[in-house]
Amino acid sequence: MWSYVFKRLLHMIPLLLGVSLLTFLLMSLAPGNYYTALLQNPQISPDTVARLKAQFHLDQPWYVQYFYWLKNVVRGDFGYSMAYHIPATSLIVGRLWNTFLLSFFALIIAWGVAIPLGIWAAVNKDSWIDRACSLFAFVGLSVPDVLLSLLALWFAAATGWFPVGGAQSPLYDFLPSAQQFWDRAHHLILPAIVLAASDLAGIMRRMRSCLLDTLRAEYVTAARARGLGEGWVVYKHALRNAINPLLTIFGYSLAALLSGAFIVENIMAWPGLGRLTMEAFFAKDSYLVVDCVVMATGLLVIGNFVADLLLAWSDPRIRLK
Amino acid sequence: MSLLEVKNLKVHFPVKHGMFSRTHEFVKAVDDVSFAIEPGETLGLVGESGCGKTTLGRAIVRLVEPTAGNVLLDGEDVTRMNGSILRARRRKFQIIFQDPYGSLNPRMTVEQIVGEALDIHKLTDSKPARQKRITELLKAVGLDAIYAQRYPHEFSGGQRQRIGIARALAVEPELIICDEPVSALDVSVQAQIINLLRDLQQERGIAYLFIAHDLAVVEHISRRVMVMYLGKIVETADAKAIIRDPQHPYTQALISAIPEVDPESKRQRIILPGDVPSPIHPPGGCPFHPRCPIAEERCRTEVPAFREVAKNHFAACHLAGTKIDLPRNPARREAV
DSSP for A140-195, please give it.
Answer: HHHS-HHHHHHHHHHHHHHH-SS-SSSSS-TTGGGS-HHHHHHHHHHHHHHHHHHH
pLDDT in tens, A211-224: 999 998 999 999 99
Same domain, A181 and A253: yes
Q: Are residues A101 and A66 in the same domain?
A: no
Residue A188 and residue A56 share a domain: no
Q: Is A243 part of a structural domain of the chain?
A: yes
Query: Cβ of A218 and B151 within 8 Å?
Result: no
Nearest by CB: B102 against A217, A224, A316: A217
Mutate to test the interface with A, among B93, B101, B107, B151 (most CBs of A within 10 A): B107
What is the span of the domain harbouring residue A25? 2-37+45-88
Asked if residue A321 belongs to a domain, the reply is: no
Q: Are residues A59 and A126 in the same domain?
A: no
> Does a structural domain hold residue A162?
yes
Instruction: Judge: B107–A240 Cβ closer than 8 Å, yes or no.
Output: yes
Residue range B173-214, pLDDT digits in tens: 999 999 999 888 888 888 899 999 999 999 999 999 999 888
Judge if A20 and A159 occupy the same domain: no
pLDDT score, position B256: 85
| Count: domains in chain A | 2
ipTM summary value: 0.82
One domain for residues A141 and A230 = yes
Report the residue from B58, B88, B99 with minimal CB separation from A227: B88
Examine the pLDDT at A256 and tell me if it is beyond 80. Answer: no
From A88, A119, A152, the end of a domain falls on: A88
Is A219 in contact with B63 (Cβ distance < 8 A)?
no
Search chain A and give the residue with CA nearest B108.
A316
Verify whether the Cβ–Cβ distance A219 to B167 is below 8 Å. Answer: no
**A315: which chain B residues are within 8 Å (Cβ-Cβ)?**
107
How far does chain B reach from its first CA to its final CA, in angstroms?
45
Structural domain includes residue A320: no
Identify from B103, B112, B171 which residue to disrupt to test chain A contact, counting A C-beta atoms within 10 A and taking the largest count.
Answer: B103
Q: Which residues of B touch A227 (CB under 8 A)?
A: 86-91, 117, 120-121, 171
Question: Do residue A135 and residue A273 come from a single domain?
Answer: yes
**Within-domain flag for A272:** yes
B37-71 confidence digits (pLDDT tens): 999 999 999 988 888 899 999 999 999 999 999 99
Report the gap between the CA of B117 and the closest CA in chain A (Å).
6
Sign of CA pseudo-dihedral A268, A271, A273, A278: positive
Q: Report the percent of chain B where pLDDT is more than 70.
A: 93
Amino acid at A220: V
**Which of A27, A54, A88 corresponds to the end of one domain?**
A88
pLDDT in tens, A151-183: 888 988 888 888 877 777 777 777 788 888 888
Give the global pTM. 0.77
Domain membership flag for residue A214: yes
Residues A238, A261: contact at Cβ < 8 Å? Answer: no
Q: Do both A60 and A100 map to the same domain?
A: no
Does residue B12 carry a pLDDT above 70? yes
Examine the pLDDT at B326 and tell me if it is beyond 80: no
By Cβ distance, the residue of A219, A225, A226 closest to B104 is: A219
> How much is the pLDDT for A272?
85
Q: Quick check: B105 contacting A, CB < 8 Å?
A: yes
Q: Determine the pLDDT at residue B331.
A: 44
CATH number assigned to the domain comprising residue A236: 1.10.3720.10
Q: Are residues A119 and A264 in the same domain?
A: yes
Which residues in chain A are contacts of B88 at CB distance < 8 A? 227
pLDDT of B165 = 93
Same domain assignment for residues A79 and A119: no
Q: B213 and chain A: CB distance < 8 Å anywhere?
A: no
Q: Domain boundary at A88, A107, A123, which? A: A88
Predicted pLDDT at B325: 67
Asked if A225 and B61 come within 8 Å (Cβ–Cβ), the reply is yes
CB contact under 8 A, A226 and B153: no
Q: What is the mean pLDDT of residues A115-143?
A: 88
Chain B residues close to A218, C-beta within 8 Å: 97, 99, 102-103
Q: Which amino acid is at A180?
A: Q
Residues A139 and A246 in one domain: yes
**A80 and A114 within one domain:** no
Confirm or reject contact between B291 and chain A (CB < 8 A).
no
Q: Which amino acid would we find at residue A307?
A: A
B117/A317 Cβ within 8 A: no
Does the pLDDT of residue B125 top 50, yes or no? yes
Q: What is the pLDDT of residue B18?
A: 62
